[in-house]
């Protein structure tokens, strides 16, 4: 008989007024008792709606059932066979719109907290030295993966498991892509990313850092070097700005820059070589996960932080938990508000941001109600930094100019849901193919592409 408790078993967290001054992980994870209690809420439905909501197809009721029984090793085996990076997805997936969004328990009460159970199992395995690194015997075929973010790492892991020799080319000095430079330590500790990457290396994946494909080697040159297929998982790089006056003032950052300075270059640490400005009052423009991350980092560096978002709370694209955490930590949400200019002092430093108030009109092409400016609502807010978290657009550095490789209207690699492109030996997935999206969608794309690559290489024989 399932545990009929209506709500999720709470997960211990650092107190908001303590954690908003440190970079340690916010959510502390379940104990075994808590994980089992939560797992026992699963009804083990026959048609498994949760699995249909999972981009990587984890056998959710089965692994949750193992946790309920207390067979954690069995749970880890099932989980890690389907998902190469469970400790990561357990922390950063938008479960409310995926597996948990489909959970029958969510109809009356809260869904089973699948994400928290997933995280518990992955962390338990790591603490007990378990790693699912078994691979098929080496098959002698070489595949190159461009980018070591969630798409690339997942694709590499899947291929290595099938016996392929995989090289991952990363432009930065650290692997992980957005997992390393973007998502902050307090949401995804970098030790976990390192651990997952180390597991891939144990599976024989070769990770080559400081390799900017498109510059040091092109995709055709990778083929010349004996790679039979190439997976493009280079992400959606170029940060967007609003094209309003004042965006080049000192103190205006793209969220990518701000987060990279903090996460990758550890600018928040005393004595770090890479500097960051310690601001007093910061406006973060945007409403996605990246905006929440930037806002919460700025808070931790001692600033008063406002999120400025042009639509209403219902349209915030960020994960519900991130919005909740941000509010708890004292981030102020200026909703239905849109910047029109940024003003600086005589030395070129940001002094204020001028915004207008918005109201929601008719739905636009995205289906969301279009924000419309309220006449005469202009007001000025004094700030000393503005962080633009407006999303990113295609960065074609790795694949631009590759003969025969078609692009989408937005300049991404044109790829189908199996990761196939207009070139039979080139595959793509994640943000490089879709534009900015989520970690788990990138992981799903990496997984599907690995399957397509396997089919392609086998079909040649």
Partner 1 sequence: MKKYEIAKKKVLTSEITQISVYAPLVAAKAKAGQFIILRVDEEGERIPLTISSAENGLVTVIFQKIGGTTLALDELQEGDCLHDFVGPLGVPTHVEDLGRVAVLGGGLGCAIALPVARALYEAGNQVDLIGGFKTKDIVILEEEMGKACTDLHICTDDGTYGYHGFVTGKLEELIQSGVKFDHVFAIGPLLMMKFACKLTEKYNIPTTVSMNPIMIDGTGMCGCCRLTVDGEVKFACVDGPDFDGHKVDFDEVIARNNTYKEQEAKAKEKHLCRLGGGAMNG
Smallest distance from partner 1 to CB 351, Å: 13
The minimum distance between CB 214 and partner 1, in angstroms, equals 9
Task: Report which DSSP code applies to 12.
Answer: -
Say whether residue 347 binds partner 1 (CB under 8 A).
yes
The Cα 204–Cα 166 span in angstroms is 8
Please give the Cα distance from 112 to 196 (Å, whole number).
25
Q: Which of 181, 333, 427, 456 binds partner 1 (CB under 8 A)?
A: 181
DSSP 208: E
At residue 131's C-alpha, the angle toward residues 127 and 133, to 5°, is 170
**String of DSSP letters for 282-321:** EEEE--SHHHHHHHHHHHHTT-EEEEE-SS-GGG--S-HH
User: Which span sits near partner 1 by CB under 8 A: 249-257, 281-289, 303-311, 447-455?
Assistant: 249-257
Q: Which of residues 379-398 bind partner 1 (CB under 8 A)?
A: 395, 397
Q: Taking the complex as a whole, how short is the minimal distance between the CB of residue 198 and partner 1, in angstroms?
A: 16
Residue 34 or 396 having the CB closest to partner 1: 396
Q: Is residue 256 near partner 1 by the rule CB under 8 A?
A: yes
- 159 and 138 in contact (C-beta within 8 Å)? no
Q: Is 172 in the site for partner 1 (CB under 8 A)?
A: yes
For partner 1, give the closer residue by CB, 261 or 296: 261
Name residue 307's beta-bridge partners.
284, 333
Applying CB under 8 A, does 348 fall inside the site for partner 1?
Answer: yes
Q: Does 173 bind partner 1 (CB under 8 A)?
A: yes
Binding of partner 1 by 250 (CB under 8 A): yes
Burial class from Cβ neighbours inside 10 Å (0-12, 13-18, 19+) for residue 373 reads middle
How are beta strands 385-388 and 337-344 bridged, if at all? unpaired
274 binds partner 1 (CB under 8 A): yes
Number of residues that bind partner 1 (CB under 8 A): 38
For CA atoms 232, 234, 236, 238, the dihedral sign is negative
Residue from 260, 338, 351, 434 in contact with partner 1 (CB under 8 A): 260
Our finding on whether 257 is near partner 1 (CB under 8 A) is yes
Record the tokens describing residue 194, joined without a space.
Answer: 């390192």
* Cα 121 from Cα 135, distance rounded (Å): 21
Cβ of residue 149: shortest distance to partner 1, in angstroms? 11
Q: How far is the CB of 396 from partner 1 (least distance, A)?
A: 9
DSSP string for 338-359:
EEEEEEE-TTSBEEEEEEEEEE
Q: Which of residues 188-247 bind partner 1 (CB under 8 A)?
A: 209-212, 215-217, 237-239, 241, 243, 247
Interface with partner 1, residue 272, by CB under 8 A: yes
Question: Which CB sits closer to partner 1, 69 or 221?
Answer: 221
Binding site for partner 1 (CB under 8 A): 171-173, 181, 209-212, 215-217, 237-239, 241, 243, 247-251, 253-254, 256-257, 260-261, 265-266, 272-275, 277, 347-348, 395, 397
């Amino acid at each position: 008989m399932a545990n009929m408790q209506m709500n999720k078993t709470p997960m211990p967290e650092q107190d908001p007024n303590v954690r908003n001054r440190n970079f340690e992980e916010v959510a502390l994870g379940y104990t075994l008792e808590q994980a089992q209690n939560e797992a026992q809420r699963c009804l083990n439905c026959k048609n498994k709606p949760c699995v249909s909501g999972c981009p990587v197809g984890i056998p959710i009721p089965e692994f949750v059932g193992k946790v309920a029984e207390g067979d954690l090793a069995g749970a880890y085996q099932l989980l890690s066979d389907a998902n190469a990076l469970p400790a990561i997805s357990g922390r950063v997936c938008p479960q409310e719109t995926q597996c948990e969004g489909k959970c029958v328990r969510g109809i009356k009460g809260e869904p089973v907290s699948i994400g928290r159970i997933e995280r518990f199992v992955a962390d338990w395995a790591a603490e007990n030295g378990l790693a699912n690194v078994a691979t098929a015997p080496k098959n002698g075929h070489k595949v190159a993966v461009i980018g070591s973010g969630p798409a690339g790492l997942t694709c590499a892991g899947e291929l290595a498991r099938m016996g392929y020799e995989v090289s991952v080319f990363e432009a930065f000095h650290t692997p992980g892509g957005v997992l390393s430079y973007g998502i902050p330590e307090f949401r995804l500790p970098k030790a976990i990313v390192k651990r997952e990457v180390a597991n891939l290396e144990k599976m024989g994946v070769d990770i080559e850092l400081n390799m900017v494909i498109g510059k040091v080697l092109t995709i055709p040159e990778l083929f010349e070097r004996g790679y039979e297929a190439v997976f493009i998982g280079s992400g959606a790089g170029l940060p967007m700005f609003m094209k309003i006056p004042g965006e080049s003032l000192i103190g205006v950052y793209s969220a990518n820059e701000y987060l990279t300075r903090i996460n990758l270059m550890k600018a928040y640490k005393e004595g770090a070589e890479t500097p960051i400005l310690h601001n007093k009052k910061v406006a973060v423009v945007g409403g996605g996960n990246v905006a929440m991350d930037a806002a919460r980092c700025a808070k931790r560096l001692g600033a008063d932080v406002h999120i400025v978002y042009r639509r209403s709370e219902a349209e915030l694209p960020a994960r519900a938990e991130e919005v909740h955490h941000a509010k708890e930590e004292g981030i102020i949400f200026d909703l239905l508000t849109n910047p029109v200019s940024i003003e600086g002092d005589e030395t070129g430093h940001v002094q204020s941001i001028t915004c207008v108030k918005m109201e929601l009109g008719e739905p636009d092409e995205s289906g969301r109600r279009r924000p419309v400016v309220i006449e005469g609502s202009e007001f000025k807010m004094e700030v000393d930094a503005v962080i633009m978290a407006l999303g990113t657009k295609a960065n074609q550095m790795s694949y631009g100019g590759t003969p025969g490789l078609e692009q989408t209207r937005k300049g991404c690699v044109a790829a189908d849901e199996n990761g196939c492109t207009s070139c039979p030996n080139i595959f793509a997935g994640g943000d490089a193919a879709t534009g900015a999206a989520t970690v788990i969608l990138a992981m799903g794309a990496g997984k599907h592409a690995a399957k397509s690559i396997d089919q392609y290489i086998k079909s040649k024989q």
